[in-house]
A and B are shown apart, each in its own frame.
Chain A
Amino acid sequence: MSGQYEESIAKVFDRIKKSKINAYITLNEHEAMETARAVDKGEVTGRLAGMPVAIKDCITTKGIQTTCGSKILTGYVPPFDAEVTARVKKEGAVIIGKTNMDEFAMGSSTENSYYGVTRNPWDLNRVAGGSSGGSGASVAGLECRISLGTDTGGSVRCPASYCGVVGIKPTYGLVSRYGVVEYANSLEQVGPIARSVSDAALMLDVIAGHDPKDSTSVGEADKVTYTDHLNEGVKGLTIGVPEEYFGEGLNPSVEKAVWDGIMTLNKLGADYKKVSLPHTKYALSAYYIIAMCEASSNLARFDGLRYGLRTGKDENWHSTFSRIRAEGFGQEVKRRVMLGTYALSEGYYGKYYLKALKVRTLIKRDFEKAFKDVDVLAAPTMPTPAFKIGEKTEEPLSMYMADVNTLPINLAGVPSISVPCGFAGRLPIGLQLIGDLFAEPLLIRTAYTFEANTNFQKLPEGF
């Protein structure tokens, strides 16, 4: 006779196997069932005991293939767990598998995966968002309860918004990056995606905290239990509405849903006022320069020498590694590596990289200044609902533009949460709440209060 957890996890795998979403690259069925049985027997306990959890495929999992959505890492089984993986396992979670993503987290639609596009559970012809598209879709499609994504310029919040679920991008340094395959290391953080704010907060409790293996890790989270702050309400808070986040290209349904959301919070006791973040218009260029420069360096290690793809006959090292990189990397990855290499090269470093760092400082100051006046900023997460698969693949620039409201947050290192706030037709819309450094408790209570007083926490049709 099988136990309660074994049964429910078996159901999850059944659903995944019948699913058209393509949320996973690798399933961890055998080990997951074992863990579920151990939970049933009481041998495994913890805050996540028996919960089906999915992990983005750029977060290392000992003994489970980790590909980053890339052909170049096909078959790579890391010998160690990421710090977040270890923490999730320690709390008794059942690791369902590794979720699909844009190759090396480069993209906003999960169309750049070597393992196929992930479809949006709300409309299979649309993207699930990116780059943590598999993590967003798996939660929305009931293929796990909570997932981990990484957010470099909006990669947790974008799929959360497109898939109608909750996603948190924590303060830089709050969550360990040890074991996160680096794309743009000065920008990215691991964040939870869940169907409810409380689940997201629970996961943040588990993964946040100091890790001596990551020099950029800070101790702030060790003093806080995020789930303790859910019920604190929004009375007396001032919400800032940054005008630059309601600019050109904003879909009217999105604009309305977000303003309705702000009004809801207002009714629940929060004040609101318009604010300005004047350097926002430079954020996109600065972000992509920094991200591509870092990517060009971070991806240099993939040479097929010690792990991953090995094709054709071996020649001398330079030809062999050039061929492996040519075959192993997709178009978007190549584009970013080459642009980053160019921007860092002699004579251009000052013109591009250093200038981007200066813009980054100005953007940080914008936020510092804003948070002197307001507690939380509210804005659309994505300017539009999920777009159609293939719609933007030929225009990288228009794809980059989609991140315009999320990436300034990564440049500043501040936290942000996306919570469902309405629908455009049947497609979900996300409200983005942005806080000052380490203001996660404030964001969580605001989002929870909003969620508790609205009715957008729904399942897609047929689920």
Chain B
Amino acid sequence: MEDDVIIGLEIHCQLNKLNSKLFCGCSTKHHGSEPNTHTCPVCLGLPGALPVINKKAVEYAIMVGLALNCGIAEHTQFYRKNYYYPDLPRGFQITQYDYPIAENGMMTVDVDSIERPVRIKRVHMEEDPGRLVHQGSIETSKYVLVDYNRSGMPLIEVVTEPDLRSPKEARRFINKLRNILEYLDVFDGSLEGALRVDANVSLKGGARVEIKNISSYKGVERALLFEISRQRNMKRRGVTVTQETRHYDDERNCTITLRSKEQAEEYRYFPEADLVPLSVKDWENKLKARLPELPEAKRDRFRSQYGISDNHAKVLTAEIRLANYYECVAGKCDPVMAATWVADYLKGELNYRDRDVRDAFEPEKMIFIIDQLKKAIITDKGAVEVIRVLLDEGGEPASIIKSRNLAKVESDITRKAVTEVISENASAVQDLRSGKPQAMNFLVGMVMKKTRGRADPEEVNLLLRELLECTL
């Protein structure tokens, strides 16, 4: 947290779990399709075509509002935001202005174990425009192609108050928002263009700079880091930061001027008369009842139901897919062990590989591994090995244990190894006897090495004490 940094976010999320667009029946499942194949007179803005609101999209937006602790409007209305751009087929975007669907919410953000509230100003609905496709780069392209498949995709825009204090907090906020949307099953953050962020950033007392269209999760943090240091440098040199809109260049990792305040856009908002105002009061109560369990509630339940640690509960519920995975596993084996193996080991191995839980192996395999551990057939080290092999090569845990000789060795083999280690390491034995407990770790390590990790370290420890009649 940096005391003088002020960040506010506007986050556009595609409600891409809907089957049809915001104002027409066109399919939203256009990813990977030929350009302009998911279009109709309405989303192409052909003369005479009229928008009709997708009720399901309104329901989703209300659910988002509720999940972010917002008040839901009694009446909601759409407005036209007028501007010219080739990807905007009507010359105006249908969005919300006065009377957004939800307002005045709150979400906490958690950085370095400090939980801070971030106020949500509003949540509103709008349509996505089409997409410009340049041949080559923007600078060199001789022409531009327009793909209207995205035109009319339902978006919600979440606008925060300027309550964030660091780029890291901003990133955490966005991650948490994404998780909540995925809990609500209204959003799939892995699709291209699913989430786009505009960030407002200023240093206390300075002018506010808006960075537009940051389209990656990591980009948000990087853009803000760049912009803050740019503003700090200006301040240091005594140059005044002017209010302006900047573009974030992902490739070069810098922000560049788009327009200054004097050129501020004039959107001429006014009510969209083709869509009558909606009264959504009754919907709110119905949807409240249908709201799924959200991350914080799930975390509390995991703690009490499975008796797992606060930290484990937090990690496991941060992502709906991980939480579901854990519940699958925890239902069929020791839940505390399951928490360790899913939250620490599996998640760790996935992070290392830059993959997510969707790429993991089936929960049944994890249940099997934990079962083998519990029965003391494999050691922790062996279990980690199985997980790695499963992630990298796939296969069945049982055969991996067998083919890689991961099953724990018999006690007499361990005993034999311990005896050998004792005779081969007289000085370490001497150290131990003379009261240097670190020597024990060395000896256990040697035994583990001799048994290629298949001995149970705890058993080795006991055997060493027994044979050396050590009272440490």
Contact = CB atoms under 8 A, between A and B. Distances in A.
B92 interface: yes
B398 interface: no
Contacts of A297: 80, 82, 91-92, 268, 270
Given A213-B52, A345-B268, 19 more contacts: A59-B48, A66-B47, A76-B47, A179-B49, A180-B48, A182-B274, A185-B273, A212-B52, A213-B50, A216-B273, A296-B82, A297-B91, A297-B92, A299-B91, A301-B47, A306-B46, A317-B86, A318-B84, A349-B269
Contacts of B47: 60, 66, 68, 73, 76, 78, 181-182, 301-302
29 contacts: A60-B47, A68-B47, A73-B47, A76-B47, A80-B46, A177-B274, A178-B48, A213-B52, A215-B50, A215-B275, A216-B274, A297-B92, A297-B268, A300-B82, A300-B84, A300-B91, A300-B92, A301-B45, A301-B47, A301-B91, A302-B47, A303-B84, A305-B86, A306-B46, A317-B144, A341-B268, A344-B82, A346-B268, A349-B269
Given A79-B41, A300-B84, A60 B89 contact: no
Interface residues of B, number: 29
A82 interface: yes
Contacts, number: 99
Interface in A155-186: 177-182, 185-186
Nearest to B90: A301
Nearest to B275: A215
B44 interface: yes
Interface of A: 59-60, 66, 68, 73, 76, 78-80, 82, 177-182, 185-186, 212-216, 293-294, 296-297, 299-303, 305-307, 317-318, 321, 341, 344-346, 349, 353
Nearest to A180: B48
Given A293-B270, A301-B89, A215 B276 contact: yes
Contacts of B44: 306
Contacts of B269: 349
B194 interface: no
A349 B268 CA distance: 8
B384 interface: no
B82 A80 contact: no
Interface of B: 41, 44-53, 80, 82, 84, 86, 89-92, 144, 146, 266, 268-270, 273-276
Nearest to B78: A215
B149 to A, nearest CB: 14
A76 B80 CA distance: 25
A215 B51 CA distance: 8
A66 B53 CA distance: 27
Contacts of B144: 317
A303 B46 contact: no
A305 B49 contact: no
A215 B52 CA distance: 6
A207 B459 CA distance: 88
A303 B274 CA distance: 21
